[in-house]
Amino acid sequence: MDFHKELDARGLNCPLPILKTKKALADMVTGQVLRVIATDPGAVRDFQAFAKQTGNELLALTDENKEFVFFMKRK
């Protein structure tokens, strides 16, 4: 999947991956896609809740070798 910006949140625990994602999305324009890599297992439900609360779209979520990759589309 194509993306415009990448955020490495590996090794960070809740709530840091979401806080850094929120900051990164704020610097982007509507329609751009942010790729986030995280290792916190709690990030899966956190990103789903974040998408619902903010209106930013969670386009995809994959789990690769205990790393979670999220693609978030800026609203």
pLDDT per residue as tens digits for the range 20-62: 999 999 999 999 999 999 999 999 999 999 999 999 999 999 9
Give me the pLDDT at residue 64, please: 85
| Domain spans in the chain, listed from the N-terminal domain onward | 5-73
Buried b (16+ CB within 10 A) or exposed e, 46-74: bbeebbeeeebeeeebeeeeeebebbbbb
Report the distance separating Cα 32 and Cα 71, nearest Å: 10
Instruction: Please list the active-site residues.
Output: 14
pLDDT per residue as tens digits for the range 58-70: 999 999 889 999 9
Bridge pairing between strands 33-38 and 5-9: parallel
Specify the residue for token string 């415009």: 4
CATH code linked to domain 5-73 = 3.30.110.40
